Structure 1
Amino acid sequence: MPPNRYATSLLLLSIVLLSWRICHGRKILIFPLEGSHWVNMDIVVKALHSRGHSVDVVRTDKSWYIKEDSPHYKTITVPVTEAFNPDFINPILKKVIDIERGESSVWSFASLQAEMFSAMFNVHRIMCKMATDMFEDKDLMKTLKDRKYDLVLTDPAWGAGILLAHALKLPLVYNVRWITSGEGHMAIAPSPLSYIPLTGSGLSDKMTFIQRVKNHLFSIIWLAQDVLLIRPQYQALCDQFFSSEVRYIDLLHGADLWLMRVDFVFEFPRPTMPNVVYMGGFQCKPAEPLPEHLEEFVQSSGEHGVIIMSLGTFVSQLPADISNEMAAAFAKLPQKVIWRHKGVRPATLGNNTLLVDWMPQKDLLGHPKIKLFVAHGGTNGVQEAIYHGVPVVGLPLFFDQYDNLLRLQERGAAKILTLATVDKDNIFLNAIQEVLHEPSYRRNMQRLSRLHRDQPMKPLDNALFWVEFVMRHKGAAHLRTESYKMPWYSYHSVDVMLFLLTTAVVALLFVAGLLWSCFRLGCKRKVKLD
């Protein structure tokens, strides 16, 4: 074929492919969270964009992580007076760390719960104010309706995206681990408290009687938080902008698809539903080459290898005395250490430790020289450690972090410390040495890695298929249980049990009455005969 004809054919083929992508691409509205939640939502956004879909992302003008300009999405920016950002989270973190470092007691537990209750109330108050501003902006709502989206994808740990999907009458998909009332499974699937531990309880799926009592108490705490502090705020918006017959709890439970950011290599076995798709570790991928300065530092570790430490998105530094204790412990090790740390340089920092503002965590975890991950226990970091088979020393601070690390510890792949003990009696140093030198930690984590990777389809590809499935079929009602529409007494068959019990009692009384009548009649006849 002549060169000019070849070029023309290639151009025509490109135009056809581009036209196919435009014709088959759909419009998706994303209502994400900030912080680490946006980090994993952004991966889904990029993947959807790569498949030819048009993506719009709702953000605030005080957004923490979500950039206004991106080649993968367009933004819809909502002006707000308050937002979930460092100004909101840092004072809470300081209080939580102070409470965690205190003596363990009923008072410290109550203080921590009160702080968490206050934080949760305020973050949902901020989100409800944002939703109110959106719904009252008639031009914005008209614009959103005129764009004729095919789907709303949201993280339901905040409820504004759920309300927006209802207002626009669109299919709803969750990128979910948490919902406004707690862990996602607890809302959608049967969750017996006899073997399913509540977040915050610090329990596994093997519980003694006392632990089951504790688990039920935690369920009451979560229910009280939802019923008293969270749900009324969103219900007030339903009453104001929809009608009093629209219940927020029904909207929450009624999503077409739940993309669950866990899998059963990580999660304890539990009941599930057909519209739950597991995509744990979807953000994980093989390691890429490190920047030159990091590669040189890693290679300089020789046979001893490298330890990396990061406390995640929210926490960049710890109190100075704890940082100094950790730095001193690191200095005693033959390994090199890469530590994501901001703030004052620890006075006890050794020559083997490199402080960085940011690290390519995924690429470091996948490097063959990495021996240990000191982590806070966020879901993303835990999944990445599993994917790359790196054992963990956990330092949980708040929310679900202890529970995430507990799942690794129960499988022999991690050791958990607490802020109250980490600076005492060389506990931090001893924990690191134990995980480094006891082969079972690495062996167990690598086994989890093999299990996680042994899947017929990559978790992200599976999630994308189901998102597009919902758009193709304009929902997935056939996968959605109707149980959430039932009152609690019908769901638990209390009314049936009462009916059967009443019927049995009436029948028993009738038989007893009949026997008594026969007995009396027999007695009367006997008297007459006498």
Structure 2
Amino acid sequence: MIGLKDLLFYCFILFLCSTSSESFKILVYTNLFGHSHVKVMATVADALTDAGHNVTVLMPIIEQQFINKTCLKSTKNVIFVEQDDKLKALMATRSKRFETLWTSGFNNPFVVAKKSKLMSELFSEHCRKVMSEKKLIEQIKSENFDLAITEPFDTCAYAFFEAISIRAHVAVYSCSRLDHVSEVIGQPAAPSYVPGMTSLFGEKMNIWDRFLNFYLYKANSYAFSRIGDENYRVAKEFYPNIRSWREVVPEATFLFTNYIPYLDFPAPIFDKMIPIGGLTVKTDQKEVQLEEKWSKILDERKKNVLISFGSNARSEEMPIEYKNALLKVFQSMSDTTFIWKYENPEDPFTKHLKNVYLSAWLPQNELLADPRLTLFITHGGLASVLELAMTEKPAIMIPVAADQTRNAQMMKRHGVAAVLKKFDLANPVKIQEVIEEIMTDSSYRENAKRLAEILHNQPTDPKETLVKYVEFAARFGKLPLLDNYGRHQSFVEYFFLDIISIISFTVLVSSYLFYRLLGYLFRKCRGSSIKNKKE
């Protein structure tokens, strides 16, 4: 006879069996390039590790500065692919050329072409290094991973997946959309009302705006497609039988986008596109506790402003006239503390100002979550935008490049941000006027509070959504029936031009026959009338 203790023990074992989920072997391929990209992919890896899966992260190094800033916490199995000398030289060249971000117009076709050539050289050399690691590739192939994950920002991962014969893969965007991916998967771009990735406009555009939006969509798609095609050319030198990224990307079981439907511009998506926007934002009070150093700084004055332009547009490389203009603003607003992410905090140009603090690194999420922070001046990278949106902070958006203008217009649409051009940084009067406007106009803070409340009460949780869909993809592999057939259609078929032509031809022929019939009847009636008169 089973005793009470035995019964409880069996019930406990049954409970564990019923609640435990299957553990999958998952490969995450993410370059060490761009903090926002690294952070998103690291958060994905950690979420899956925390869910009990066996996660391996492959990190080819493009930017050496991130070697100790992988953003990984619980995921320990990490494989680095080191830079070679040629890649190091290209990165040094890139750093010099990217100084022009502060002064160049990134919607200029010549700038787009120049940056495209530079990025293509950089990523193709990186891809050559990765694909030359045949011993590593064979080692990873022998692991028989259930699923691979990457961001299609860099398409070399898809050549790697082909080389290891991965059974299925999913994609993760660190932004809300990637124009070159939209084209190959057949996602409708709708440029007449949906701002492209590098668009300068919101959803309401006049005829010239719509033309520029379409042009920028195509230019951006071309630039990234060029990188992808060059990666494929290089990868084929080592594995001649692999397929192009244009064939492999659409086979992704799911595409996870850093997109929050209420926050972003409404746009057409597919069933296989899964929003996980806000995944990287820390909102739990236990996670956003400030260090004492920063807490003391916020206590010094009632008004506090955080300034950060991200990792690509380095503040220390800002034109001197921009720096001087900001100094004038700091001096005239002595009752306000300014905390500035500045790569060279030993720079003496602010030493005479007691209300300015420079730091090469800032706990941005934690500072934004603190109620003592008044305003955020930002370049408008999506990671920063999501953090300020979910922490009730009004902002001044000063886009520098990439998707930042689009993000700025997105926040302006919600009434939580004012938007300046980067060239306005040379105008201290304008900068101060906008800062004071946002600080005194309560509508900005009220709108920010309402937006954050909506985002915190969404019916879905991004982390849970990610884990469930990844587990589904790992279990069932590729799902070709979710593939959008529209991508296989010709231009004529997709836009109904054949049907429109048939209808137009039918209408024209019918109209002509009707016209001839009317003419015949008219002549018949007229002839009868004349005959009757003669009689």
Identify the TM-score tier after normalising by the shorter chain: 0.7 to 0.9
Alignment of 1:248 with 2:245, yes or no, is yes
- Specify the alignment match of 2:434 in structure 1: 431
Displacement, 1:415?
A: 1.1
Q: Distance in 2 between matches of 1:186 and 1:199?
A: 15
- Note if contact 1:284-1:384 (Cα within 8 Å) is conserved in structure 2: yes
Question: CA separation in 2, counterparts of 1:407 and 1:324?
Answer: 30
Q: Which of residues 82, 86, 96 in structure 1 aligns to 2:87? A: 82
After TM superposition, the structure 1 = structure 2 runs for residues 453-464 of structure 1, keeping only pairs within 5 Å, are 453-464=456-467
Contact 1:327 1:349 in 2 (8 A): no
Matches within 5 A, 1:304-323: 304-314=302-312, 315-317=314-316, 318-323=318-323
Report the CA distance between 1:284 and its aligned residue: 1.1
CA distance in 1, matches of 2:208, 2:331: 42
Distance in 2, Cα, partners of 1:428 & 1:349: 21
* AA partner of residue 171 (structure 2): Y
Superimposed CA distance per residue, residues 168-194 of structure 1 (whole angstroms, 9 cap, x where no aligned partner): 243221111277755759955323222
> Aligned pair in 2 of structure 1 residues 521, 130: CA closer, same or farther (>3 Å)?
farther
d(CA) in 2 for partners of 1:425 and 1:76?
45
Query: Is 2:280 aligned against 1:283?
Result: yes
Identity %, equivalent residues: 20
Shift of the alpha carbon at 1:463? 1.5
CA contact (8 A) 2:199 2:217 kept: no
Equivalence map 1:145-160=2 (5 Å): 145-160=141-156
Deviation at 1:71, TM superposition (A): 5.7
Aligned residue number for residue 403 of structure 2 = 400
Work out the CA distance in 1 between the residues paired with 2:55 and 2:67: 14
Deviates more, 1:491-500 or 1:506-515: 506-515
Q: Does 1:215 align with 2:219?
A: no
The 5 Å alignment of 1:35-434 reads 35=34, 36-61=36-61, 63-64=63-64, 65-67=66-68, 72=75, 73-77=77-81, 79-80=83-84, 81-82=86-87, 87-99=92-104, 110=108, 113-167=109-163, 168-176=165-173, 177=175, 181-182=179-180, 184=182, 188-222=186-220, 224-225=222-223, 229-230=226-227, 232-234=229-231, 236=233, 241=239, 246-286=243-283, 287=285, 288-301=288-301, 304-314=302-312, 315-317=314-316, 318-333=318-333, 334-343=335-344, 344-347=347-350, 349-434=352-437
Question: How far did 1:56 drift?
Answer: 2.1
Cα contact 2:155–2:228 (8 A) shared by 1:
no
Q: Deviations over 1:352-389 (max 9, x none)?
A: 12212211111111111011011111100010000001
Q: Which amino acid letter does the alignment assign opposite residue 375 of structure 1?
A: T
CA–CA distance in 2 between the matches of 1:493 and 1:233? 34
Contact kept in structure 2, 1:338 and 1:354, CA below 8 Å: yes
Partner letter of residue 115 of structure 1? V
Aligned 8 A contact 2:251 2:478 in 1: no
Q: CA deviation at 1:456?
A: 2.5
Q: What displacement does 1:234 show?
A: 4.5
- C-alpha spacing 1:43/1:109, structure 2 compared with 1 (3 Å): closer
Which residue identity does 1:90 align to in structure 2? S
Q: 1:325 to 1:517 in 2, by over 3 A?
A: closer
Q: How does 1:486-497 map to 2 (within 5 A)?
A: 486-497=489-500
Deviations 1:340-363 (A, max 9, x none): 113323247521122122111111
Compared with structure 1, are the counterparts of its residues 248 and 505 closer, same or farther at alpha carbon in structure 2 (3 Å cutoff)? farther
User: 1:201 aligns to what SS in structure 2?
Assistant: coil
The residue type paired with residue 130 of structure 1 is H
In 2 relative to 1, CA 86–130 (structure 1 residues): closer, same or farther, beyond 3 Å? Answer: closer
Question: Does 1:485 find its partner at 2:488?
Answer: yes
Question: Match for residue 531 of structure 2?
Answer: none
- Matched-pair contact (CA < 8 Å) for 1:324–1:347: no
What secondary structure is seen at the aligned counterpart in 1 of 2:348? coil
One-letter identity of the residue aligned with 1:270: A
Shift of 1:206: 1.3
| Cα deviation, residue 512, structure 1 | 7.5
Partner AA of 1:311 in structure 2: F
- Aligned AA for 1:275? K
8 Å CA contact 2:340, 2:358 repeated in 1:
yes
**For the residues of structure 2 that align with 1:474 and 1:28, how far apart are their CA atoms?**
12
Bigger mean CA deviation after superposition, 503-512 or 362-371: 503-512
> Where do 5+ consecutive residues of structure 1 fail to align?
101-107, 524-530
Q: Map Cα deviations across residues 104-136 of structure 1 (whole Å, 9 max, x no partner).
A: xxxx953xx323322233323333343344445
Residue type matched to 2:170 in 1? V
Distance 1:238 1:75 in 2: 20
Q: Is the 8 A contact 2:304 2:374 kept in 1?
A: yes
**What is the distance in 1 between the residues matched to 2:359 and 2:235?**
46
Residue pair 1:158, 1:179 contacting (<8 A) in 2 also: no
Residues 138 and 423 (structure 1 numbering): CA distance in 2 closer, same or farther, change over 3 Å?
closer
1:452 aligns with 2:455: yes
- Code of the residue aligned with 1:264 in structure 2: it is P
Higher relative contact order (CA 8 A, sep 6+): 2
Deviation at 1:166, TM superposition (A): 3.6
Cα distance in 1 for partners of 2:481, 2:87 equals 40
Q: Deviations over 1:436-457 (max 9, x none)?
A: 1111111111111111111123
**Bigger shift: 326-335 or 231-240?**
231-240
Task: Flag the 1:498–1:186 CA change in 2: closer, same or farther, 3 A.
Answer: same
Mapped to 2, the partners of 1:237 and 1:512 lie a distance apart of: 63
TM-score, normalising length: structure 2 = 0.82
CA contact (8 A) 1:97 1:397 kept: yes
Distance 1:163 1:180 in 2: 19
Do the aligned partners of residues 448 and 399 (structure 1) sit closer, same or farther apart at CA in structure 2, a change above 3 Å counting?
same
Partner of 2:533: none
State the match for 1:528 in structure 2. Answer: none
Q: Please give the alpha-carbon distance, in whole angstroms, between the structure 2 residues aligned to 1:472 and 1:328.
A: 59
Structure 2 residue aligned with 1:103: none
Are 2:197 and 2:406, in contact at CA under 8 Å, matched by a contact in 1?
yes
Q: Could you tell me which of 472, 476, 482 is aligned with 2:475? A: 472
Q: Distance in 2 between matches of 1:206 and 1:39?
A: 32
Matches of 1:432 and 1:172, distance apart in 2: 46
Amino acid paired to 2:113: F
TM-score of the two chains, using structure 1 as the length reference = 0.83
Displacement of 1:475 in angstroms is: 2.9
What letter matches 2:161 in structure 1?
A
1:397–1:149 Cα change, 3 Å: same
Q: Number of aligned pairs? A: 505
Cα 1:515/1:183, change in 2 over 3 Å: same
Of 23-32 and 355-364, more deviation after overlay is shown by 23-32
